[in-house]
Structure 1
Amino acid sequence: MRVFKFGGASVKDANGVKNLVKVLQEVGHENTLLVVSAMGKTTNAMEKIVNTYFEDNAACTEVIREVITYHNSILTELFSNNQHPIFKQITDLFNEVRGFLAWNKSPKYSFVYDQVVGYGELVSTNILSAYLNDIGIKNNWLDVRNFIKTDDSYRDAHVNWETTQERISKDIDRSTLNITQGFLGSDDNNFTTTLGREGSDYTAAIFAYCLDANSVTIWKDVPGVLNADPRYFEDTQLLNKISYREAIELAFYGASVIHPKTLQPLQRKEIPLQVKSFLNPKNAGTVVGKGIGIEPEVPCFIVKKNQVLMKLSSLDFSFIVENSISELFKMLHDYKMKVDLIQNSAISFSVCVDNRFDRLQGLLDELKGRFKVVCHENVSLYTIRHFNSAAIASLQNGREILLEQRGKETVQLVVKQ
């Protein structure tokens, strides 16, 4: 059994869907489960629907129409018969979105977000499944919400592994090509939940773990895992092999190719992860597995933009010690801040966070009652694994460094953007 994950870039238009078929024809599709994301930038478009619903409800109709038009253009290129059942299926799915927004009474943004945004994946997988069936590649469409069960932490749900394992083991036919959605699950009340942005990689790992798959392949528009994001760095290099441990470190620090949660279930069963190009499917790409180390051993650069650096100091010059730090972390947890870096001295504490849920102001109001607070918004956090002096110098050049932290193998710099 193999698990393939295709992201939004791979199915952004009709040609992308046709190229996905070409990949399957080149590498085979027997005993395979496909995890597929929303098409192109659809997740962003669905988020816009949610934001419009809360900010200007009357404008929702037009925003939804834009998303429908985008998908209809793909449909008309893939299916010559506009009476094909897929057209009604997609219309029905978007009518479900309209229906939910009409009857919803919940004021909770995260709940509404999960009920709406996941339709991007439901639409993309229905289109792909219908197209594959049309061209003679028989497949089984699965609603992932019937298999991955979670708690009700909307937008960042935690998997109920026991129930998920039971459902996947019992109800999936391993002998056929299966197609399902990334990113989604459902809670005990069968409301849709999401696993966090870019959670489709994690979905693939969950299925691989529960199916005892031979491998997981993430198909990207890059050759594999690079030592830096080519959008921000020049002269990037392909990493041929990476150990689970190294890949988890890279993911933790924010490497965008692999989702941070993806590697843990794969490591537990030693299921190898391959990251390959859907443009050149026969190329080797990158293999992540047991005890491989990193090859070639070169500095790896990671950047996280739009971070927040807070520097706290005690008002009365008292020490910031265990009790104070414990209370600080409780506040960071309560305000759902993702901590990316910490540094403390006797009377100061610095923390770089990702303000994922836009709750910074509330946190600052609470902190300022107890500490002197200096806050730098929209900073960048650079991380270099396996650094050398030349690598550090390349980042320091011309930038204002707000904070620096070094370990044996890793250096981190917070700089003004």
Structure 2
Amino acid sequence: MTTKAYIVGVGMTKFEKPETRDWQYWDMAEEAGTKALGDAGIRYEQVEQVPVGYCFQPSTAGQRAVYALGLTGVPVYNVNNNCATGATALMMARQFVEGGHADCVLALGFEKMARGSLGGGGADGGAADFATSPVARHYGIMAAAHGFEMSPPTAQIFGNAAREHMERYGTTEAQLAAVGAKNHRHSVNNPHAQFQDSYTVDEVLAARTVHRPLTRLQCSPTSDGAAAAVVVSERFVERHGLWHKAVEIVAQAMTTDTGDSFASGTCIDAVGAPMSRAAAQQVYAASGLCAADLDVIELHDCFSINELLTYEALGLCAEGESGKLVESGATTYGGRWVVNPSGGLISKGHPLGATGIAQAAELTWQLRDEAGARQVPGARTGLAHNIGLGGAAVVTVLRR
């Protein structure tokens, strides 16, 4: 038997530049977890399972983090799925509830990162390390098509995907920069965001180049932070009178790489466009919804090009039309959808283990009409998209 799963409580820390604050990962996890439990109005003693996502902390860091919330002996699962880690932990929480294994689960994600650009999976980020890296096949595609340069590896593979999109579809640097300008503008109203400054398209274009055509203001930063969500069964909602808090997880899907990721030899496919497309198709089929039914979207804009690729994968526009879509204003306030009202990864920040759950937190606030100055008017259906190289794509549809 299965039951519906609902998010009834969310919480997160402010995302910050690494080493800004003198705190440890367990401190940030305690803050986010306490906020989520408080939002739901429940005690940690009512939680039956705890999946915990992180990438850069040691084994069993999940236990070290949640022990600050309570020592109840419940199972704690340590989750690592690259940049899709947070959504993976949330998916486990939903599966525990829908499968009838628990009525109340806390999904938690955190990261304490080092300053500087994120490496590509090797020991020091150099080309020689990719032979043994989990993402060796992905970077091999890039190296064969574009070579391997000295700029940050993740910026290289996404930057090369941007070049391919420009060459294939005529996408412009200004359209890529429009993604960064939009998301920085959105973050001005988000007190949890790492950056809260607004920039014009020209200012985004004029920023320091990280890997052509991507400038610094089109790239997500390394960040410290945590996020948490309380996922419960319909029975739990009814028993505790939580309908005023409840946001339904309507459908959710995770996909990993298939032959389509590598067959074309393009960076567009190697960075995950086929995975995202497949996950979106699965959630649309399961929910009976489509892109036209969505009001608000939080998607994985690790780089501006990935927002454009994800528009196409989610069916917001036809393949190759995403540059024109963002330029038209269709993905901001007053347009057809509001995409990344939080500021997205580019401006809100990207502590890997927390990102997917932070997306769910933003959508929960939006669907409850609790997002303050960044509220999307009348939002009732939302979609979250979280992706990681190596690879995993998780798409989640929420409804109020």
Scaled by the length of structure 1, what TM-score is found?
Answer: 0.25
Structure whose CA Rg is larger: 1
> Which has more strand, going by share of residues?
1
TM-score (norm: length of structure 2): 0.25
